[in-house]
Amino acid sequence: MKRLLTLLASCALISASAQTVSSPDGDVKVSFSLSQSGRPTYSIDYKHHKAVLPSGLGVRTKQGDMVEGFEITDITNSSFDQTWSPVWGENSTIRDHYNEMAVALRQKESGREMIIRFRVYDDGVGFRYEWPEQRGLTYFVVTDEVTEFAMSGDHNAFWIPGDYDTQEYDYTESHLSEIRALMPKAVTHNDSQFVFSPTGVQTALQMKSAEGLYINIHEAALVDYSCMHLDLDDKKMVFRSQLTPNAQGDMCYICAPCHTPWRTVTVTDDAREVLASNLILNLNEPCALEDTSWIKPVKYMGVWWEMITNASSWNYTDVPAVDIESFDYTKAKPNGRHGANNEKVRRYIDFAAEHGFDQLLVEGWNIGWEDWSGKSKENVFDFVTPYPDFDLPALQAYAQSKGIRLMMHHETSSSIRNYERRMDEAYQFMVDNGYNAVKSGYVGNIIPRGEHHYGQWLNNHYLYAIKKAADYKIMVNAHEAVRPTGLCRTYPNMIGNESARGTEYQAFGGTKPHHVTILPFTRLQGGPMDFTPGIFCMDLSTFAPNGSKVNSTLANQLALYVTMPSPLQMAADLPEHYAKYMDAFEFIKEVAVDWSESHYLLAEPGDYIVAARKAKESDEWFVGGVTDENERTVEVDFSFLPKGEKFEATFYVDGKDAHYATNPESYDIYTKKVDAKSTMKLRMAAGGGFAISIKPVK
């Protein structure tokens, strides 16, 4: 690691002419100036392209607007170049290399001081508002942030509806000007949702300009602030930040000295660089945990898909309501459909252990599932009491005797106070019973009522849960929480998140095949997703009262373990479905979940992604390729392999007649010798893909 910090310039009371700062390679340039009214304004150029046209900045607060009337009091330029090693991830080292310009401003009338800090990387820009300690501004309430992102044209965009409570939507690919017309169809039902505008969209938002520029807007290091969405002025093609309000309509309560999260614009003319970008991680603070030795990537199975598909139930009995403090489950009539029962869990343990998994998630193990959802019930779960047919200590002991662990599940039903009140006991219970990872969930509307999933109140909670989990050496995978913004760098025990439409929606009516070619450009920009891939039985009606079909081929499912990198990967299907295709299952068994290097070979959002990765502390490689609803043949160049070494590759590809809709489970497996000079044409069926495992020939 080297660290280089150079003060390039600093001078008082700068004129209002544009101040610029460029990326280390010179391709990205930020220009800052004040408008005639004294409004801070920035623009971003990439090579000869306009990535962001001049766009206004500012924040409105209950204590007064900080939007106009500014003068520049100081400009500080510096550079930074450092290499750091994440605890887990796509690469074993990451270079953090940027040029910085901090513009110190004073609002003439109020005397208030604000700094806008830009960090310019080779692949994009981060900037944030900072308020130094000052007289006249201490505690303040942000009522609106008016950060603009002015687009240079009617770009193509991959968007989901802007919502304060969910990101679980299918992506729509359209021009910006089409968002308004397409919005009603894009807004599908969710248990908790609040769409704030007919032209509002979520970040990370991936766009592509007519001239081939890839522009991605997101944020980094969302801490003690509310989540930013984007609201589009579709006449001017200008996005404006839309923060998530609290129950009273206020956005954030903060106190100087403080700063906002980073607002980020990734910009490149090569789609693969978006996927390879470390901009978001780099803008986060270094690891805050002293000891990270207990954080281990996890490959797991789960008693879960059968509940999602409605083949079995989370709840033990069928009654309209239970008081978890007094209801006597031992006297209740079992509904006969309870998934998390001793016999079944043992079967799952046997299978998962036999095939080398680390953990087995069991949902529905604990009391309270009879009336957990949609009731605004506060005292909904206790997180420590198993159902009578789930002998927790015996099952955990059985699992550990076979070399795996049970994985804990904490569905909170968004009853936040109840969870926080019980959190210490729940985490201690995990420690006492041999658990070291928890999947948590935030289904339904938030209690306290009126708060939103993505507001400051909840963001504060999610991080509280992560930090407290670290005290107990527990890894957390939160579902329905705010979409990640790279905080896993600082808190690497945050090993997963959902915060997007995961595989479960294949059981809720299906997901568009292009989904997995977009998520890495959007949701995954902020951190890994517990996408729960690995479905091998695509017609759910064959085993469950469920008319849904999985819009994916089996080879596509395998590829996801590489194209959707995560330190937490599930094999989501039932053991009996894997048993039918044990040759294909071999890939899931072998594929790594942590990497020393990653290469994006081919990528186009909405169309296809091909990625190659080297397993950490190993000389094995894995390649994954996915396509959208279109069949396509791609040429894979194996030059990512070390030169002069020989490898044997096992190919898992779509069968000739494979098609996500008509023949999803058709695949072929073959092996071939490859080396760094190899290239190979590989066909992907509609909704299909391929996976390759590559081992050195000794």
Residues taking part in catalysis: 504
Of 100-108, 135-143, 230-238, 492-500, the window that binds its own copies (rule: CB under 8 A) is 135-143
| Residue 206 and residue 191 in contact, taking contact as beta carbons nearer than 8 Å | no
Rule CB under 8 A: say whether 464 interacts with its own copies.
Answer: yes
Q: How would DSSP label each residue in 600-643?
A: EEEEETTTEEEEEEEETTSS-EEEEEEE-SS-EEEEEEGGGSPT
For residue 328, the tally of other CB atoms under 10 A from its CB is 8
424 residue type, one letter? D
CB of 372 to its own copies, least distance (A): 11
The DSSP result for 524-575, as a single string, is GGSS-----------BGGGTSS---B--S-HHHHHHHHHHS--SEEEE-S-H
Residue 536: phi and psi, rounded to 5, are: -110, -15
- Do 696 and 646 contact (CB within 8 A), yes or no? yes
Binding to its own copies by residue 373, rule CB under 8 A?
no
Least distance in angstroms from the C-beta of 279 to its own copies: 28
State which of residues 60, 117, 421, 589 lies at the interface with its own copies (CB under 8 A).
421
φ, ψ for residue 582 (rounded to 5)?
Answer: -65, -30
**Which residues within the stretch 433-452 sit at the binding site for its own copies (CB under 8 A)?**
448-451
Q: Binding to its own copies by residue 420, rule CB under 8 A? A: yes
- Nearest approach, Cβ of residue 255 and its own copies (Å): 5
State the residue for tokens 């604990």: 366
Question: Does 618 engage in binding with its own copies (CB under 8 A)?
Answer: no
Query: Per rule CB under 8 A, is residue 6 in the interface with its own copies?
Result: no
Minimum CB separation of residue 420 from its own copies in Å reads: 6
User: Which of 128/422 has CB closer to its own copies?
Assistant: 422
Given a contact cutoff of 8 angstroms between Cβ atoms, the answer to whether 427 and 375 are in contact is no
Closest distance of CB 491 from its own copies, Å: 16
The residues, any chain, with a CB within 8 Å of residue 282's CB and separated by 6 or more, are: 94, 96, 98, 121
Pairing of strands 494-497, 475-479: parallel
x/- mask, its own copies, residues 375-414, rule CB under 8 A, reads xxxx------------------------------------
| Residue at token pair 């000739």 | 656
Choice between 80 and 327, CB closer to its own copies: 327
The string of DSSP codes covering 181-244 is: HHHHHH----SS--B--TTEEPSSEEEE-TTS-EEEEEEE---SSPPEEEEEETTTTEEEEEEP
The nearest distance, CB 562 to its own copies, in angstroms, is 40
Two tokens, residue 602? 């081919």
Q: Which of residues 189-248 bind its own copies (CB under 8 A)?
A: 246-248
Please say which residue, 223 or 680, places its beta carbon nearer to its own copies.
223
* Amino acid in the structure at residue 490: T
Residue 310's region, left for phi above 0, alpha for psi from -120 to 50, else beta, is left
Q: How far is the CB of 448 from its own copies (least distance, A)?
A: 4
Exactly one of 25, 211, 318, 424 binds its own copies (CB under 8 A); that residue is: 424
Does the protein bind its own copies through residue 287 (CB under 8 A)? Answer: no
Task: Provide the residue count of the chain.
Answer: 698
Nearer to its own copies, 420 or 620 (CB): 420
The answer to whether the CB of 595 falls within 8 A of the CB of 615 is: yes
What mask, x for binding its own copies by CB under 8 A, covers residues 293 to 332? ---------------------------xx-----------
Distance CA 169, CA 163 (A): 10
Shortest separation between residue 470's beta carbon and its own copies, angstroms: 15
Query: For its own copies, which residue of 76, 92, 143, 460 counts as binding (CB under 8 A)?
Result: 460
Closest distance to its own copies from the beta carbon of 265 (Å): 31
**Interaction with its own copies in 55-84: which residues (CB under 8 A)?**
none
Q: Tell me, rounded to whole angstroms, the distance of Cα 236 from its chain centroid.
A: 30
Return the range that interacts with its own copies (CB under 8 A); candidates 116-124, 234-242, 368-376, 525-533: 368-376
Total residues contacting its own copies by CB under 8 A comes to 30
Stretch that binds its own copies, among 348-356, 420-428, 663-671, 683-691 (CB under 8 A): 420-428
CB-wise, 134 or 342, nearer to its own copies? Answer: 134
- Angle at CA of residue 394, ends 392 and 398, nearest 5°: 115
Q: Which is nearer to its own copies, 20 or 373 (CB)?
A: 373
Q: CA angle, corner 625, sides to 622 and 628, nearest 5?
A: 160
- Taking CB under 8 A as the binding criterion, the range among 196-204, 371-379, 522-530, 560-568 that sits at the site for its own copies is 371-379
Question: Per rule CB under 8 A, is residue 141 in the interface with its own copies?
Answer: yes
* Closer by beta carbon to its own copies, 113 or else 504: 113
Residue 375: CB atoms within 10 A of its CB come to 13
Which residues of the chain form contacts with its own copies (CB under 8 A)?
133, 135, 138-139, 141, 246-248, 250, 253, 255-256, 320-321, 371, 375-378, 417, 420-421, 424, 448-451, 457, 460, 464
